[in-house]
Each structure stands twice: as structure tokens, then as C-alpha cells.
Amino acid sequence: MKRTFFAQPGLVLSYFLVLLLAATEAPLWISCFAAVILLWKWLSEKKNFPKFSRKLTAALSILMVAQVYLQYRTLLGQEASNTLLVGLSALKIMDYENERDHRFLILLGFIMVAMKAVFSVDIIWTLPSGIAFAGLWYALLNPEMRPRLRFLLRLFAASAPLAILLFLAFPRIVVPWAISRASSVGAVGFSDSLSPGNVAGLAAIDQLAFRAKFHHQAQNLETLYWRGAVLTSSEGLQWMRPRNQPRTSPRLKSSRGVRYEVIMEPGMRGYLFTLNYAKSVISDTLPFTEFKYAVFRSAQNLTKNQTYQAVSDENLFDTETPDEELKEVPSLPPKTQEWVSGVLAREKTPAGRMKELKRFFEDPEFVYTMRPGFYANNDLDEFLFGRKRGFCEHFAGAYGTLARALGLPSRVVVGYHGGVFNLIGDFWRISQKDAHAWVEVFINDRWEQVDPTEWIAPLRLNMGAERFFGLSEQQQAQYARTPRWGLGGEAEFSLTEAVSFFVDDLNYRWTYFILDFDLDQQRSFWAGLTKDLGAFLAIAVLAVLVGLLGVRRLLRGGERRAPIEKLMDQIIRWGEHRGVPYEFSEAPLRYLHRLAQTFPMQAQALTLVAQAYDRQIYREEYLSLEMVAASRKLWNELKNKKNAEVKPRRLEKSKN
């Protein structure tokens, strides 16, 4: 059978959606290529443009595969596969002309729907994916069938219980061929160094980093320091992380702690963010290592959502004695060196030097801004004594270096600060805007947290990055040092915020449900269900029976029966009970006539029913409900009247 692509609404809609979904994860060139091919196909089908020959599409396929290989150096990675799928499906659409192409495209479409889930399990994609999924099935039905959509919806409804059962019961085996999730493309987050401008660049990205949900304890925004990487090697403004050193010191013990769960977004570099001071981190699905300085890191960047649970105790402090690496001071530029020498001469105690540092950074000339201009790695003089404009990383980097120069061991911590609390879902949403850097200084035999941003822009920490960077630059500059500006009064939420909270909460629950259902969850789910085995079996048998009957009814009842036909069914049952069954292939009117002859007391009603049936079914006349009701009423009145003598007469059979 010859087929035309743009004459298949289900297929066109599905492909439009799956290509759109795949394009969000694919490079721009392949999306443009697919769009051009689709446009050309439309022109060739609708405006008689010359269509591509199969040889040409084959040649283009080879070129495209070569280009993908050149770009990704593989054809197997998920990005490469996705790019290939987009290109190949577009070329297949160009070739589309017969039943075989039609079916091939549909299979390809199903793969593309599933492929999207590799990149994101965000609820936002489930609606278009679901529509594409339904559209592909719709396209498989015979176009002449009526009504197609209703049939499909019934079939989906009948299939849903089985799909849910399979989802809950299919064992989540961890397979030996687990596909590598390594990805270097599109990874967001902190790298191994803190160069001036890194965090500011990250904070400019409006993208979700992770969500966190606390068990029972409410948290203040100001105290939420999400610790990620720890940088120990100073070059002035730039800091580098140490080589991977597994944790050696014994784990700190504490019975108290704040429990929380973190759901990381895909695309993040592999740091696991924890609050100070993380006692333990547990994850069933994400393999990670604990390094020195309480840094938790997975081996690879995240290509899908991952969850982990952590316990932190704010009353615990790291007391590990700093090694030499944490005391090394880089060569300081002249003005900085002069300031350091002055302080060293004036203040002899660590506490005094800390006060000097604080006083230095409280200078009102310091400006907190995302666009401070370019600084070289050791441009301390320009930053501290010249321009005086910086972002959190500049202040943290400079503070750490100055502290070391003053004999105080220090390290820079990068991570996130704060987040937006979702009142509906009771969780924190931390985005890249919340990216932050601060310092830890070894004083009084323990590592203490110091955040220089607190002196320069306390409003940023009190208000949260989301709202702070929502202010105009002028407002930011004007009110950055006013800690409570704009925070007075009752918190009011606009409708947009409420909707945003709701959608985000829905997304959170969806992500949580989809992610969290692993082998352990599955076991506990079934263990909970089968606790009372007898009750479980009884309910299961009942559910299966009801389910099967429901499914059977859903799949069988494909037609809408007219009221007169329903009445006819009743009469047939009535007749069968009285020994006059409806003969196979017997004309209904003939049967009614036969009944009327056999049961004279009901003859009047049967004749009326026959007339109504004849008019509606055979003559296809419009029959008002009143007429049907009248015949039903008469039938109900007469059906129980006793006949004097009933001699069931069967229809004469043909004698062959």
C-alpha cells in the first residue's frame, strides 16, 4: 500500500514531538538538518517538489554517520546515538512511501520516545512523550477504521493495569552490561579549580542543580551551605583542589544530626553536596568515594537523576590538623604583601589577625557583583586595592590566601548557598544561581567556616540568590549591605509563584517516584503488601478477576448499542428462559414473530417492539426515546403474564 507521510496525522504529530524532544538533547546542526529534510518532504508531497532518491538518502546517511563519529569519536554513546536517531529518522521520513517504511518509522519513534528518558525523567517531558507514544499506536491502526481514537483509548485503559503490575513486579536487576554513564558533554558544576569568574559563570545559568528534602527539621536559608569541592592549593585568586586523597581520618561520631535527601539533576559534575558537617552519605544507585576534607564525589559526571541520603550535624567540627599543603602561601604582589606585613607586625594572635581580615573586607568600597571584569590568577593587588569589585569566589579566594599569609591555615570550599523553599512540596530547590564559594580557616584547633560575602553582600545570603539576582543591578549595589532589606512582613506569594511551586512539587514527586523505585524499594513494597499472605492472596485473586472482566469488557464492547437493541437483548434472554432460544443467524424480527406466536399474552408488546426495531434498525429511521420507552413499558407490563399453555416451537431446521 502506498503511503504519504503528511497524510498520517498520528504519525506526523508523533514525529514532530519525538524530534522536538530529541532535538533538545542534540546538537543544533542535526536539528536544522532534520527540519530542512522535513520541510523538503512536505514540499515534495504537497507541492510536487522532486523527492530525494533512496541512493541520495543513503549517501546522506553515510555522511551523517561520519560526521557524528567525527564529533563524538564514537557511535555508541547516548549523545551520539541520539544525534544519529534524529538524523536517520529524518532521512527515513524522506524515504517514506510504503507500508514497510511506515512500520519502520513507528518502531524508530518508540525508540526515540524511550531515548528521551535516558536524558531526563523530568515530568515536563512526559506529556509530549505520552502524546507521541499514543500517536504512534494510532498510526498503526487502519486509517479506515472508525472510531479509531476511542478504540485506542479503551485499549490503553485495558493495558494500564498490566503495565503498572509489570512496573511494580519486574525485578530491578543490576546487570553486568550496565551502560557507562560517562559523559563529558554538557556537565555543569564545579571543576577541579576555582579560577576567577568560574562561580559567576555558573551562577549565570538558570538551571536546577538539585533538590533537597529535610526530614522533620525546618531550616533557615542563611545556614544552608551546600558543601561540594574543597580547594587547597592557592595561587592568589585562583585555587586548585588536591589530588584525590581518600579519607584517612576516623569518622566523627555523633548521635544527633539533620537527615536529608538530595536528588541531583543530570548533567552535574560528580560532587555530592552535603551540609556541614556530614557524618554519613548513603546512596543505593550512585557509586561514590569519600575523600579528604569531607568531600564526596562520584567517579563520573551524572547523566541521570541520582539520589542520596545524608546526615549532618552542625555541632560537629572537623578537627583534623592541617598538613603543610594547607599552609602554603603563594608569592604575593607588592601591595598585598605590604598589607600582610603590616598586619603581621600589628597582630600577634590568630584571633586578632582574623579581626583584621574582617575589618579589611568590611571596607564599603568592596562591591559584590556578577560582572567584576577580568582578573588574572594572582591579581590580588588589582582586586583588593584597585577595582575592589568581585563575586563570592574573588572574596573567598582572596580571603583564603590572605589568611594563609597571616599564618592561618585555610581552604576554599565551593558549593551552593541557600535555595528556594517549596512550601507545597516541603523541599528546597537549589539552582546554579545559588553557586557560592566560602572559606574554612583552622583556628582554635578546628576548622571554622568564614564567608566574606557576609560582610560585603549580606542581603545575598539572607535573601537567596534567586531573589537577589532578580533585583536590578542598581538595587543590588544599593541594598547589598542591608541585611534585612525587602524581607520584612509576611511572605506573600503571587499566583505565578504558587503555580511554579505546584509544578515544581509535581516534578519533584514524579522524579522521586521514578528514581526511587529500585530493587530495595521494590522488595519493601512487596514485603509490605504480602505481610498478611491470606488477605493478599484473596485481594490478588479478586483484583485479577475484576481486572480480567474489566479488560474483557473494555476490549469487547466496541459498539454503542441502541436502546432498542438492549431491549431486544432482554427479550432474547426472556425467550431463552422459557425454552424458545434465539436461533443462530435468525433474523430478529422473525424471532419476535415466533415468540409472539408462542406467547400470545405478550404478542401485543412483541409486535410493538418489532415495529420499533424494524423502524430503527432496518429502515434506519430516527426513533424517539419516548417510542422506545413506550414499547419497553408495554413489554415490562406484559412480560410476566402467564400464558395458558406454552409450547415452545423451534425454528424449522433445514434438512440437508
Partner 1 sequence: MDYAKAGNGPSRSSGKPPFLFRFPSLGLFRRRRSRTYIFPTGFGFAFGGMSLVLLMMAMGYGNNLIYLSVFALISVAFCSMYVTNENVRRLDVGLSRFGPIFSGEDNAVSIRVTNSSGSDSHDLSLSLAGTKNQTPLFVASSRKSMGTPIVWRPLRRGLTRFPRVKLESRFPFGLLRSWKNCDEQTQVIVVPERKGDPQFPSLEGAGLERGSLGLFRDHRPFQSTDSPRRVDWRATAKYQELLVKNFEGSEKVPLHFSWEQTKGLSNFEARLSQLSLWLSRAEDMGFSYSLRLGTTQFPEAQGMEHLRQCLEKLALAVEGDFE
Site residues for partner 1, 179-198, by CB under 8 A, read 179, 181
Contact with partner 1 (CB under 8 A) among 35, 56, 75, 114: 114
- The answer to whether 286 touches 252, Cβ cutoff 8 Å, is no
Q: How far is the CB of 96 from partner 1 (least distance, A)?
A: 16
Contact with partner 1 (CB under 8 A) among 56, 149, 160, 546: 160
Three-class DSSP labels, 120-131: CCCHHHHHHHHH
Contact with partner 1 (CB under 8 A) among 56, 498, 538, 587: 587
Site for partner 1, residues 348 to 407, rule: CB under 8 A? none
Of the two residues 12 and 118, which places its CB atom closer to partner 1 in the complex?
A: 118
- The answer to whether 319 touches 445, Cβ cutoff 8 Å, is yes
Q: How far is the CB of 41 from partner 1 (least distance, A)?
A: 23
| Contact status: 555 vs partner 1 (CB under 8 A) | yes
| Contact status: 558 vs partner 1 (CB under 8 A) | yes
DSSP state of 284: S
- The answer to whether 398 touches 422, Cβ cutoff 8 Å, is no
- The answer to whether 118 touches 304, Cβ cutoff 8 Å, is yes
Binding-residue total with partner 1 (CB under 8 A)? 72
Query: Which stretch, 168-176, 245-253, 454-462, 628-636, contacts partner 1 (CB under 8 A)?
Result: 168-176
Q: How far is the CB of 623 from partner 1 (least distance, A)?
A: 15
| Contact status: 340 vs partner 1 (CB under 8 A) | no
DSSP state of 435: E
| Contact status: 287 vs partner 1 (CB under 8 A) | no
Cα angle: 222, vertex 228, 230; to 5 degrees: 110
- The answer to whether 258 touches 217, Cβ cutoff 8 Å, is yes
Cβ neighbours of 324 (radius 10 Å)? 7
| Contact status: 110 vs partner 1 (CB under 8 A) | yes
Query: Which stretch, 346-354, 394-402, 449-457, 511-519, contacts partner 1 (CB under 8 A)?
Result: 511-519
Of the two residues 626 and 652, which places its CB atom closer to partner 1 in the complex?
A: 652
User: Can you tell me the distance from the alpha carbon of 214 to that of 506, in angstroms, rounded to the nearest whole number?
Assistant: 17
Q: How far is the CB of 620 from partner 1 (least distance, A)?
A: 11
Site for partner 1, residues 211 to 230, rule: CB under 8 A? none
- The answer to whether 267 touches 79, Cβ cutoff 8 Å, is no
Q: Is the peptide bond before 512 cis (omega within 30 degrees of 0)?
A: no
Contact with partner 1 (CB under 8 A) among 90, 188, 592, 628: 592
Q: How far is the CB of 107 from partner 1 (least distance, A)?
A: 5
Query: Which stretch, 59-67, 153-161, 312-320, 446-454, contacts partner 1 (CB under 8 A)?
Result: 153-161
Contacts for 31 with CB less than 8 Å, ≥ 6 apart: 19, 23, 86
| Contact status: 620 vs partner 1 (CB under 8 A) | no
Contact with partner 1 (CB under 8 A) among 518, 520, 621, 637: 518
Of the two residues 126 and 377, which places its CB atom closer to partner 1 in the complex?
A: 126
Torsional class of 572: left (φ above 0), alpha (ψ -120 to 50), beta (otherwise): alpha
Number of H helices, E strands in the chain: 23, 18
Contact with partner 1 (CB under 8 A) among 209, 294, 402, 610: 610
State the distance between the two ends of the chain, measured CA to CA, in whole angstroms: 44
Assign 443 to helix, strand or coil.
strand
Query: Which stretch, 63-71, 233-241, 552-560, 627-635, contacts partner 1 (CB under 8 A)?
Result: 552-560
The half-sphere exposure of 150 on its side-chain side, counting CA atoms within 13 A, is: 9
